[in-house]
Chains A and B, each alone.
Chain A
Amino acid sequence: MKNTFILIIYFLLAWIPLKGQTQRTVTGKVTDMQDKISLPGVAIMVKGTSIGTVSGEDGSYSIRLMEDRDVLLFSYLGYATQELELSPGQTVLNVELSPTDFGLDQVEVLATGYQEIPRERANGSFVGIDNELVNRRVSTGILDRLEDVTPGLIFNREGTESISIRGRSTIQANAEPLIVVDNFPYDGPIENINPNDVESVTVLKDAAAASIWGARAGNGVIVITTKRAKAGQDFRVSFNANTTVIEKPDLFYNPKMSIPSLVELQRELFDRGLYNSSINSRNQSSVPPVVEVLLKARNGEISQAEADALLEGFKSRDFRNELDQYYYRPAVNQQYALNLSGAGTVHQYNLSLGYDRNSSQIVGNENSRLTLSQNNAWKLLDDKLDIGAGIYWVQGKDINRTNLARGVAYDRLTDEEGNPIAISEAYSDRYLDRIEAEHPDLLNWRYVPLEEIGLLDNKSLSADLRLNANLGYRIIPDLKAEVRYQYWSNMTETRNHIPQEAYYVRDLINQFSEYDVDGILTRHMPLGGILDHETGRGESHSFRGMLSYEKLFTNGNRINAIGGFEFKNLTSYQDEIRYFGYDDELGLSVAVDPNTRYRKLYNNSLGSLPANQSHTGSTDRFVSYFANASYQIDTRFNFSASARKDQSNLFGVNANQRGVPLWSVGAGYTLSEEKWYKMKALPYLRLRMTYGYNGNVDKRSTAYTTARYYISSSSTIPNLPIAAITSPPNPNLGWEKIRIANLGLDFSSKNSRISGTLEFYQKNGEDLIGDIEVPASSGFFTFRGNFANTATFGYDFNLSTLNIDRQFQWKTDFFWSYVNEKVTRYDYTFPPSNFLNTGAINPYEGRPLFGVYGYDWAGLNPENGNPLGYLDGVPTEDYRGILNAASLDNLVYAGPGRPVHFGSIRNTFSWKGLELSANISFRLGYYYRRASVSYRNVYSGSFEHGDYEKRWQTTGDELLTQVPSMPEVANTFRDSFYLGSEALISKGDHIRLQDMRLAYSFREGRLSNSLIRNLSVYTYANNLGIIWKATKDELDPDFRTSRPQRSFAVGINWNF
């Protein structure tokens, strides 16, 4: 009801025609003379007075004049200052400024989510990604568009967080950057943001840039601004459509032992008696087909010759080919986006419509997204009042009809005639044959994968709504009051209907079938399908009140300040329930008794029906106060400071620990504005420094003992509410703080042929939350508290050059980032075995959070192919001894597990309407551990790593291979030593051709049709391949389980 009300108000507001009134005020717009873009932040002064103003984000300004004054001064960095005289009675003055020959060719405005700052007044570390760059890639999601174009930002291949900005600055707390969409943190899934709706993205990297976001800025901030109409533009329509084809996954990418090896291995293990316990198991467990055949031979049901022939048959099959044939297909992503925008003097509007439809690589599965957004802005009362309102609606749909078939490496999906056949899944064929004969009234208990294709009916629907409203009033020319409000809601509904025909349901019904002494069948689980129904809803209200003050003094100095508060309430809940005996035709289901334990038919154990019932709910609340001020002394110096205090409903914390104050200071110095500055080669040079704190919060840690309630049907007393302790008390718990110092240098050559930025930074994580080990007698294994410090040093360098600037143009954009992160304090040293898990965080003083370690390797023993390690400096086969003696002193530290250097070089060539760009990315200075064969797994008969084929088999092999021989019996210590050894560590360094884009645009005039302002067609190819890598390992160092699939896209962009 409340939402409906908001909607009605919104729509009423949107269409009320309002007209501005003119007074004794001069208004106008400042634009660039060459490309007509609006110039924000232009200083406008009334000559001979201290009265001045600054143009807004759309380049418009409004200034009150005294009657006797009629000359206005327009000055802007990088542009020639203009002095213009007003004719009597003139109230509108539009101005075009011409760039000076040494200026930046374009004025970049950086959005922080609170204000927009022109690049040359920003002291902090920002990366601005403009619309052209946002649109360069073709993808469904927005974050993909940032990859390899953002200095300091890396997409991780190891660890839990997908993106890191200048390294990871936390250990246990949330490590993802904060994502801000249209001024407020975005609470929904980022997949809901349609990249076609995005105008620009700004990445905030240091304290000064991000501290305005306070306790949530510790991991950096990504500010996304959606499209708006540009002031003064005429009505525009643009349409973008593209189709991407993504190749099938390569199932043979992961090296595996050969199928004949596996068959022989299982035969050998059968002879050794390994399968006897499974064969006799009361769980009627299935055993591999090889074992079934050999068992039949042993029991005399078939002859040895028949068995051998069957085994030979297995050797020539490959399940991966079957999966490839029946389940996989190239995925196709289709994307359509339509955008309408226009602006008058009073009203600006933008309407976008987007539709994405992606078919998955597995047959029958697909998802789609429909986005609809509209925003309006009005300027009223002589531009003193501005009102904005926006609505964003996203509807997502995810359909799953097929699960991948499960089978052994040499299983088949069809018989010789191509008919679907059964694969033995949980139970042995022997049991199924017997039980089927004994109880013909059971449901078919066989798993026939091909008959399951398309059988599921799993639909997830989500609806995401975001409403924005803002109201600004210029109380006096220098002071503006602003309020912003955002309502967000997300509803998801998942209906997973598994019909009775599906193996999953038939299996459960049979498991819960019981026969009494007279052989009468009782089904404790009703016939019919299963319907899992899950609904979820998230909702947030965000409110911000802010005052901004901006004053320009006659001496050219400028003060700029904002201050305000905001609060937010985010609630969510999820409910899940399962219906049995569901009939989709009639909409009927049958109530069951989830409490009684029944005897399961196949193993007679007690179990209750798997009723899924759960409820979760959460509430996050934040209250924050912020202030930010900058003072500019003429065009040379700029000082800035900001402070913020955040409070949250942290659980089990004393009220005085709920908040954390954070601050930053910064200074900028434009050397090239000094009179003594004479460097002709670099007409623009600016130095800037910032220092301050960002924060992070771990909402899972608490000061009191906390517990979580459960109800479980598998408790001894079913459905009795029980509670389990989730965390021990830590009365000294505090917030994480990240201290950042940043030093930056911006430069630009004559005509901006060469421009770039070099930034050095030092980031120190203080009181980071980490786990330390505690004696188990406390009741806990580890204890979470503020036990860690980290120090990160790094630099980001980016350079843009215009190499050739004729009819043929060649541009190069290059960036190089260096991140060296180290743990400087950790109050506990974990056991050495922890350090052998790569991809896990291994804190140790002086080393990075992600390090790659290994046992010292002494090669293979030429006599028996056993791996050799060192114990007290002597090569040995005493693996248990090596493992026990391991310490951080004798483990080999190879190096960081995450790239220390990374970057990309993007070359863009254009000739007439044709444009080709290629992005080459590189990642250097890191290590990874290769997978290899575990003989313990070999001895359990599993389809092991391909290194099995490269193992040592005879003396001399040690010169060719590092893979140990197959031991007589499985030895876990030998496996652990080899798999943890230095021999499997490789250098990850590589350079890859990430993508290429070729576009052709028909310029205005070239097409006679006046409807077309601009038409371009483009193709885009992604994941093109590795150009160079340091390791000889055949796998991609960054994608070791599955290769990134190549994709190819074709699209059209039409503006009229």
Chain B
Amino acid sequence: MRTYILQVTLLVTMLLLNSCDGFLDEKPSKSLVVPTTPEDMQALLDADGLMNTDAFTLFLQSDDFELEEPGVAQLDDWQRNAVFWKGEIDSPEGVTAEYLNIYQKIFVSHYVMEQVADFNDTQSQKNDLMGQALFYRAYGYFTLAQLFMPDYRIAKDSEEEIIPLRSKSQLDVEVPLATVSELYEAIVADLDQAISLLPETAKYVTRPSRVAAYALLSRVNMAMGEYDKALENSIAALAINSELMDYNGIDTVNTYPIPFLNEEIIFNGIQTSYSFSFSSNLLVNSEIYESYDSMDLRKVLYFTVNRDGSPNFTGSYNGNFELFSGIAVDELMLTAAECSVRAGDLQAGMDYLNKLLETRWVAGYYVPYEASTQQEAMEIILMERRKSLLFRSTRWMDLKRLSNEPSLHKTLKREVGSFSGNLDLSLEPYALKIPIREQVLEGK
């Protein structure tokens, strides 16, 4: 009897111990995963709150807007430093959430690349995911380059190592700092590769596609002052999608009239929102506001006028108070127009421009532009570029690249109450400093 009980106990114990391996393999939470499958990768890349959200700092440094004292009061210290070009955006936490988000995007890109590298799935899905990850990495580094590096043409020969350039997701690795030329080289290489891997268009405009990669590359080319390549890539993108909305068909009843996810969008991006970014204290640059013709539908659709006559911007391509920062067909048309003129083809340039503007005016009222000199054509195109791409986060890039050309260069100046700042980008290489927290923790 005794031995029998002992044996049974022993047997039960053995059985239990044997089943333990599987028993402890169960995952502790339903929604928690170690992402490994193609579906997991796509879900990580589809997290638009992170992947398609861009830094508001790009916009804050531009001259698209004006503000008065209540607006200044609404800004955080780091935002105020950006608005008045103080050269740093260190926040009380050490770095802004925006800065962290860019690198989080890059972390996700690296993680996806590393996982996808081991896939032996169908070639297209593997290529698609790899292409998307390369696109996002390039997008992230390009934002950093615009914020923390001087203009490419001024600084491309500089040996100064500026931006932490990671190449894998692992945390505890030595991170080299990239010079201006190294970083831009990496961005262009990623986009070239993405173009070869991505499908022509994507199911959703929040996902990178070949057309989006061409479009982004043309933007990067513009920032580098490589206008011939910018032309080539914008044409390649327009060959895939050149559809324009007719602004005459847009209902003006709505405060934010531009349709959400409209057909002009090639890649959807949203600027990070703050209380200031959708406040009535964020006023439109009055000089630009005054420059629209009364028959120009952009004036009707893009702005709402406060009781005191000051204009607010309500023409976001997100159809909402969130500001758009993605890439749309209108930007490509303007890029193609400018680059054609720069290449000496005035007619082609004017054609791109007129084709675009025809859809922006009250039907029948648009008189096509004509230009007799390159200088005149450039002035027209750049003014229309400002009027179309207002509040899109591209102005800072334009300010930087145009500072190389004395005839197009503009000095910046702001004065509100006790706060003031001015910046002449042509005089010295200007960029924000990498936050002190980062310099300390990177050990550089």
Contact = CB atoms under 8 A, between A and B. Distances in A.
A280 B307 contact: yes
A706 B33 contact: yes
B254 A647 contact: no
A14 interface: no
A777 B166 contact: yes
A618 B28 contact: yes
A780 B16 contact: no
Given A716-B48, A778-B103, A725 B32 contact: no
B43 A606 contact: no
A720 B104 contact: no
B342 to A, nearest CB: 34
B92 A728 contact: no
A273 B438 CA distance: 39
B158 interface: no
A481 B5 contact: yes
Contacts of B28: 618-620, 649-651, 699
Interface string A994-1006: 0000000000000
A715 B260 contact: no
B256 A707 contact: no
A779 B27 contact: no
A565 interface: yes
A601 to B, nearest CB: 11
Contacts of A776: 94-95, 99-100, 103, 435, 437-438
A173 interface: no
Given A606-B260, A783-B171, A473 B26 contact: no
A728 B106 CA distance: 13
B105 to A, nearest CB: 8
A724 interface: yes
Overall SS of chain A's interface = mixed
B35 interface: yes
Interface string B6-47: 100100110011001101111111111111000110011011
A780 B104 contact: yes
Contacts of B304: 282
Interface string B433-444: 001011001100
Given A282-B304, A723-B40, A775 B438 contact: yes
A597 B322 CA distance: 14
Given A606-B260, A621-B24, A649-B28, A716 B280 contact: no
B255 interface: yes
Nearest to B255: A604
B432 interface: no
Interface in A855-905: none
A335 to B, nearest CB: 37
Identify the interface centre among B31, B39, B438: most chain A CB within 10 Å of its CB.
Answer: B31
Contacts of B13: 545, 565
Contacts of A599: 254
B44 A623 contact: no
A573 B30 CA distance: 9
A577 interface: no
A545 B9 contact: yes
B46 A706 contact: no
A616 B29 contact: yes
Interface residues of A, number: 75
A587 interface: no
A832 to B, nearest CB: 11
Interface residues on B, range: 35 or more
A728 B100 CA distance: 14
Interface in B77-91: 77
A616 B30 CA distance: 6
Given A616-B30, A723-B40, A775 B256 contact: no
B108 A475 contact: no
A833 B255 contact: no
Interface string A597-610: 10100011110000
Contacts of A647: 20, 24
A282 B314 CA distance: 11
B104 A779 contact: yes
Given A545-B13, A606-B256, A717-B206, A705 B34 contact: yes
Identify the interface centre among B108, B170, B171: most chain A CB within 10 Å of its CB.
Answer: B171
B268 interface: yes
A301 interface: no
A476 interface: yes
Contact of A281 (B16, B171, B280): B280
Interface in A578-607: 597, 599, 603-606
Interface string A260-294: 00000000000001101100111000000000000
A476 B30 CA distance: 47
B25 A705 contact: no
Given A567-B23, A774-B171, A618 B43 contact: no
B389 interface: no
Interface string B40-73: 1001101111101000000000000000001001
Identify the interface centre among B28, B30, B44, B254: most chain A CB within 10 Å of its CB.
Answer: B28
B411 interface: no
A721 B256 CA distance: 27
A277 B13 CA distance: 72
Contacts of A545: 9, 12-13
B334 to A, nearest CB: 24
Identify the interface centre among A547, A567, A775, A831: most chain B CB within 10 Å of its CB.
Answer: A775
B204 interface: yes
Contact of A704 (B34, B171, B442): B34
Contacts of B254: 599, 604
Nearest to A705: B111
B174 to A, nearest CB: 12
Interface in B416-444: 435, 437-438, 441-442
A1016 to B, nearest CB: 48
A970 B94 CA distance: 23
B407 to A, nearest CB: 39
A833 B47 CA distance: 32
A903 to B, nearest CB: 40
Identify the interface centre among B17, B32, B94, B281: most chain A CB within 10 Å of its CB.
Answer: B32
Nearest to A273: B70
A1032 interface: no
A725 B70 contact: no
Nearest to A476: B2
A605 B307 contact: no
Given A277-B74, A717-B46, A777-B442, 12 more contacts: A282-B312, A545-B9, A604-B255, A618-B30, A619-B26, A651-B28, A699-B28, A702-B34, A706-B35, A707-B44, A723-B47, A725-B108
Top 5 A-B residue pairs of the complex, sorted by shortest distance between their CB atoms? A779-B107, A604-B255, A617-B30, A723-B43, A777-B164
27 contacts: A273-B70, A277-B70, A517-B253, A545-B9, A545-B12, A565-B16, A565-B17, A603-B255, A606-B260, A615-B30, A615-B31, A617-B30, A618-B30, A706-B34, A707-B44, A708-B32, A710-B31, A717-B204, A717-B206, A722-B49, A728-B171, A729-B170, A775-B441, A775-B442, A776-B435, A777-B106, A777-B175
